[in-house]
Every structure is written in C-alpha cells, then in structure tokens.
A and B are shown apart, each in its own frame.
Chain A
Amino acid sequence: MNIEHPQTAAKDHRLPFIKADGRWISLGLGAAFVVVLGMPLLVTVLWSLVDPQVGWFAPDILPTSRALNHWSGALRNPSIVSALGLSIGIGIAVTILTATLALPTAYALAKLPFRMKRFVEVFVLAPLIVPGIIVAVGIGAIFFRLDLVYTVSGVILVQTVGTLPLMIRILAATIEAIPNDLIAAARTLGAGPGAIARYILIPLAWPGFIAGGLLTFVSSFEEFEKTFIIGSPFVQTLPVILWTYLGGRGIIFPNAAVVTFILLVPMLIVFFLAGRVLRDDVLASGMGKL
C-alpha cells in the first residue's frame, strides 16, 4: 500500500524503512548480535579451554596456551554429572506436574463462564507478579514444618508455583481456539470429562502443551533463586553449582565456563526445537496481557 500524496512526496517524506534501509537494519543487527551474543560465547569458550598450568592473565587478550583439562575434569566430576541428571529430572517432573495441574483450570478459563473469572485470572497470574524470592522464603517457612526443605520434592513443588501461570495462560489461549461445537458434540455423544480431555483437548491443544511444556522445562532448568533457597546445600542443580563457582570462596572462571556450557547445551537444544513449534504469538499470549 504505497499510496503517497504527491505533495508529501515532494517534501521528501520517505516511507519508513523502504527497501534500501533493509540492508542497514541487517548490518546494525548483525553487528549488535556479534557484540552481545558472539563475544560472550567466544570468551566463555576460551575460558573453558584455559590451561591450568599457564592460566589467562591480563594483558593477554587470548590465552597463550589451551588445554582440555577443565573439560575432562568436569566430566569426571561426579557432582557435576549428577547435577546435570538432577536438573533434567527436576525439569521433567516440574513440567509434568505443571501441565497436569494447569489443564483443568485452563479449560475452565477458556470455555466456561463463571462468576469471579477476572479474580481467578489475576490470582493464577499472581506468582508472576510477586518476586520469586518472597515466594521462596515464604514457602521455606512452611516447608520447615513439613520437612520439605532441602529435599528434591520441595524444590519441585516450589518451582511449580513459578511455572503454573505461564502454562495456564498458554493452554487457555490454545484451548480457546478449539470450536465449542466439538466439545458439545462429544458431550451429547456421552463423553465424560476424561474422554473430552483425552480425545479432544489434549490432541487439539498439543501446540499449547509443547509450547508451555518447553517453556516450563527451560524455566525449571535455569531456575536458581527458589531452588537455592529451598534446596541448597543438599539439592545441587547445575545453576546452584555454577553459583558456588562464582560466589562462595574465590571465583573459578574455567570451571564456571565449563558448567555454563553443560547448562547451556540442553537449553539451546530445547530452544531450537521450540523455534520450530513455538510461534511468537503463542509465547506472547502467555505474557503480553496480564
């Protein structure tokens, strides 16, 4: 729709970003991403390859010699290997728990009219709005009484508080798109709630399950604050281990760099898997309107 008034054209009012600008946008974005993503990645790679005999000190811009010691050390370190397993296990458990709890509520929010719906919507979103540290410390006080602090179950329970809101939002958005007639027809034909969930909601809302599930897994895998407060020092997920390399007594950059990669690889796999099934509008529907 390139309709231009002759007069404005004469005053050299250019259309925003006409074709010639596209190249400049790409150049600018490319340069920005090299600095903001490429450089950190390169520096992390280099730190993970630092030779422990030589080190990497100022003013050297590149490490003078490289070795794989930190990598082989980390892969032989039982606490790092078990942390990876634990992080994946907790992630899967949180995802299953979150999806199971979220589905009925998402259905009610998407399809059924009821009083105080607005209140339920806000309440379900509230964990996004209250800082995680408050949730974690508050639950910590209760978990002390229930003997759930410092346990894996406690960590799974506290992480689920943070992941439920997005899952409910995303599932509700996808279920809303399922035609009402389909559900009504199934009901007339005698389907109960279980059958409706199994044969209609889950198959038709699967993009929502995949999107919400991947997001949940990612946020569980990278979650630090709640896990640290409820689980540390006995539940050691990868972010908690990374924390001990960076905080604690003395910073150990090469070890931190290796753990960073062990932490990032599953994330990036999920990320590129998600890129194929996850549309931006699904993601934004989870957060765009509170």
Chain B
Amino acid sequence: MSLLHRAAVPILLLPAGGYLALFFGLPLLLAFLGGFGLFTRGAQTGFTLEHYRALLTTQAYRDGLWFSTYLAIVPTLASLALSLPLAVALARTHPGQRLFNILYKVPLVVPGIVAAFVVMTMFDRGGLAARVLAPVGIDLPKLVRDQWAIGVIIATSWKAVPLMTLIIGGSLASINRDILSAARTLGAGPLATFWRIQVPLALPGITAAFLLTFIGGMGAYAVPNLLGPVYPLPLSVHMYVNAFERNNWGLVSAMGTVLSLISISVLLAYYRVTRGMRRVFGGEQR
C-alpha cells in the first residue's frame, strides 16, 4: 500500500503544483531573467545589468523603493499595535462578545478600494472629519495624498487589523490556560502575564500576521495610487506604468525581482524567528 501511495503522490500534486509552476513559478522565473535582459518582451538585448542600474540610479525609483518599504512597515506596525490589545480584549468574557467577534471581521470582506473610498470621504480636504471639526476650531492637516501617506496608512490598517487579530487571536486561544493561572498564582499581574507569557507564546501567530501584512503593504497598488502622494510613487505603481504604458518590461522585471527579494528575506527572517521559538519552547505552538 505504501508503494501505491508513493506512486500516487506525484499524480496528486500535479494539478495544483503544475498550475502554480505554470502560472506562478514560470512568470517569476521569467521576471528574474527579464531583469537581466533575457527573454523579455520587445527588443532582445542579451545579458545586461542596465535595468538594475536604471533602478538604482534613477532618483524616482530609488525613492519608490524606500516608499514601498515604508508602506510595508508603518501600516504593519500600526495594525500590530491595534491588533494585540484587540485580540486580548475579544478573548475576555464580556457582554456582547459574540456580536463583537463577528463585527471585527467585517473589514476582511470589504475591498481595499472601498476602504480607500471611505478614507477619501472622511479625511480628504472638505471631508466629513474636517467639517465636523471645523466649528470646534480644529484644522486637520492634509491626510489624503499627503507626504507621509497617512491616508494610505489608515486605509491599509483598517483592512489589516481584522486579519492580524484573527491570526493572533488564534494563537492566543491555543495557549494552555493553566500556564496563565500558574503565572497569576506566582504573582504576575495582568500586564506581566501579557508581556511575559501570552506575547512570547503567541509569537508564531504574531510573526505570521506581521509577514502577511508587510507583504500586502509592499505590493499594494490601488490604495497608494488613490490615497498616496504624487511623489514618491511606490515601486508597484512604477511597475504598472512601465509595463503597460511604457512597455519597458526589463525594468519592470528588475523592480519585481527586488520587491520579491525583500519579501523573501522577510520570510526567511520569519522562519528564523519561529524556529528559534520552537527551540526555546519545545514542540510546535499551534
């Protein structure tokens, strides 16, 4: 039977594996090669480092690279700061718990563009927040298409908090209650229990949530395009413009490769952290 099983594995893996190889692996491989001028659409140049040189020497692209990283890190940190207490609060018994547990997940099914629309109506010049605050004498700073991309951060975090809370809540729930009781009997207060027991034990979930939000923020196209500043533009927007308006696929491939490398290094860091966690706490934390 095990022999039969072994023969069955490649056949079972073929549909999804083949699909992903064809429509995910191959495009990425071509993008990687295209960054060096190989197998690109349009003019064949042979091997070249020109595209990477252009990416790294053009001011707009260099700023775009920093801006993409900024749009990955800042909303992720902001969402994490909101998700941790939210996950803890939702897990505690309180009136209306069932309702709140459903409500917080609503943004999961709301498209990012809708979030961008809401931010526009609320925080743009002449938006509702400005109208409500104007009589009180508060003049809101520019929050949409502003230099610090506050609007992008608000919309991205609004979408990301439920996802992070869901993942973090899952790992908090899997912590053995006896450990928490033990900590409390040994004299740890609520805050000490939280920082020294719950956060370390939920770290695999926290890092997974961090990773997913980080990558989402770095590749985001629609929200920064609608709410972000005119300059700098994130690399994702440069990619679209260069691909479909300037037909400069070599440069697009170089940009895609650089963004992928950043994601992959964050992923490897994630594996290091979680493996370290497993060594410290023994066994898998689920």
Query: Contact at B114–A264, with CB atoms within 8 Å?
Result: yes
User: CB within 8 Å of B: which of A176-234?
Assistant: 184, 187, 193, 218, 222, 224-225, 228-229
A49 close to chain B: CB less than 8 A: no
Given contacts A141-B34, A141-B249, A287-B208, A26 and B94 within 8 Å (CB-CB): yes
Q: Which of A16-24, A70-78, A88-96 contacts B (4 or more CB under 8 A)?
A: A16-24
Given contacts A129-B263, A253-B121, A260-B114, A59 and B134 within 8 Å (CB-CB): yes
| Interchain nearest-CB distance for B76 vs A (Å) | 14
Query: Contact at A160–B19, with CB atoms within 8 Å?
Result: yes
Expressed in whole angstroms, the Cα–Cα distance for A158 and B239 within the complex equals: 17
1/0 contact trace for A104-145 toward B, CB 8 Å? 110110001110000010011011111111110111111010
A268 close to chain B: CB less than 8 A: yes
Query: Contact at A137–B113, with CB atoms within 8 Å?
Result: no
User: Residue on A with the closest CB to B82?
Assistant: A32
Expressed in whole angstroms, the Cα–Cα distance for A44 and B16 within the complex equals: 40
User: Residue on B with the closest CB to A218?
Assistant: B109
User: Residue on A with the closest CB to B256?
Assistant: A134
Residues of B within 8 A of A39 (CB): 122, 128
Expressed in whole angstroms, the Cα–Cα distance for A283 and B171 within the complex equals: 12
Expressed in whole angstroms, the Cα–Cα distance for A28 and B94 within the complex equals: 11
Residues of A within 8 A of B109 (CB): 218, 222, 267-268, 270-271
Given contacts A5-B187, A17-B190, A187-B1, A61 and B106 within 8 Å (CB-CB): no
Query: Contact at A242–B92, with CB atoms within 8 Å?
Result: no
Residues of A within 8 A of B24 (CB): 126-127, 130, 135, 161
1/0 contact trace for A18-43 toward B, CB 8 Å? 01011101101110010011011001
Q: What is the interface of chain A mostly: helix, strand, loop, or mixed?
A: helix
A168 close to chain B: CB less than 8 A: yes
| Interchain nearest-CB distance for B268 vs A (Å) | 11
Expressed in whole angstroms, the Cα–Cα distance for A217 and B16 within the complex equals: 18
Query: Contact at A101–B259, with CB atoms within 8 Å?
Result: no
Query: Contact at B113–A224, with CB atoms within 8 Å?
Result: yes
User: Residue on A with the closest CB to B28?
Assistant: A138
Expressed in whole angstroms, the Cα–Cα distance for A33 and B243 within the complex equals: 41
| Interchain nearest-CB distance for A139 vs B (Å) | 5
Query: Contact at A288–B205, with CB atoms within 8 Å?
Result: yes
Query: Contact at A58–B130, with CB atoms within 8 Å?
Result: yes
Given contacts A133-B219, A253-B121, A5 and B185 within 8 Å (CB-CB): yes
Q: What is the interface of chain B mostly: helix, strand, loop, or mixed?
A: helix
Residues of B within 8 A of A86 (CB): none
Q: Which of B45-53, B56-64, B161-169 contacts A (4 or more CB under 8 A)?
A: B161-169
Query: Contact at B106–A22, with CB atoms within 8 Å?
Result: no
Expressed in whole angstroms, the Cα–Cα distance for A267 and B246 within the complex equals: 36
Query: Contact at A251–B11, with CB atoms within 8 Å?
Result: no
User: Residue on B with the closest CB to A278?
Assistant: B105
Query: Contact at A131–B111, with CB atoms within 8 Å?
Result: no
Query: Contact at B111–A222, with CB atoms within 8 Å?
Result: yes
Query: Contact at A25–B92, with CB atoms within 8 Å?
Result: yes
A290 close to chain B: CB less than 8 A: yes
- From A16, A135, A242, A264, name the one whose CB has the most chain B CB atoms within 10 angstroms: A16
Residue from A8, A157, A260, A275 in contact with B102 in the complex, judged by beta carbons closer than 8 Å: A275
Residues of A within 8 A of B194 (CB): 16
Query: Contact at A25–B170, with CB atoms within 8 Å?
Result: no
Query: Contact at B190–A15, with CB atoms within 8 Å?
Result: yes
Expressed in whole angstroms, the Cα–Cα distance for A139 and B212 within the complex equals: 22
Residues of B within 8 A of A36 (CB): 158
Given contacts A13-B187, A108-B13, A138-B256, A284 and B121 within 8 Å (CB-CB): no
User: Residue on B with the closest CB to A17?
Assistant: B92
Query: Contact at A108–B215, with CB atoms within 8 Å?
Result: no
Residue from B15, B121, B215 in contact with A44 in the complex, judged by beta carbons closer than 8 Å: B121
Given contacts A129-B263, A247-B225, A105 and B190 within 8 Å (CB-CB): no
| Interchain nearest-CB distance for A68 vs B (Å) | 19
B70 close to chain A: CB less than 8 A: no
- From B13, B40, B270, B286, name the one whose CB has the most chain A CB atoms within 10 angstroms: B13
Residues of B within 8 A of A133 (CB): 219-221, 236, 239-240, 256, 259
B residues neighboring A (CB under 8 Å):
1, 5-6, 8-9, 11-17, 19-20, 23-28, 30-31, 34, 40-41, 89-90, 92-96, 100-114, 116-118, 120-122, 126, 128, 130-132, 134-135, 158, 163, 166-167, 169-171, 173, 177-178, 181, 184-185, 187, 189-190, 193-194, 204-205, 208-209, 211-212, 215-216, 218-222, 225-226, 236, 239-240, 243-244, 249, 252-253, 256, 259-260, 263-264, 267, 270, 284, 286
> Could you write out 8 A-B pairs with CB less than 8 Å apart?
A4-B185, A28-B89, A114-B9, A120-B13, A123-B25, A129-B263, A134-B259, A135-B24
A residues neighboring B (CB under 8 Å):
1, 3-5, 8, 13-17, 19, 21-23, 25-26, 28-30, 33, 36-37, 39-40, 43-44, 47, 57-61, 100-102, 104-105, 107-108, 112-114, 120, 123-124, 126-135, 137-142, 144, 157-158, 160-161, 164, 168, 184, 187, 193, 218, 222, 224-225, 228-229, 239, 242-243, 246-247, 251, 253, 256-257, 260, 263-264, 267-268, 270-272, 275, 280-281, 283-285, 287-290
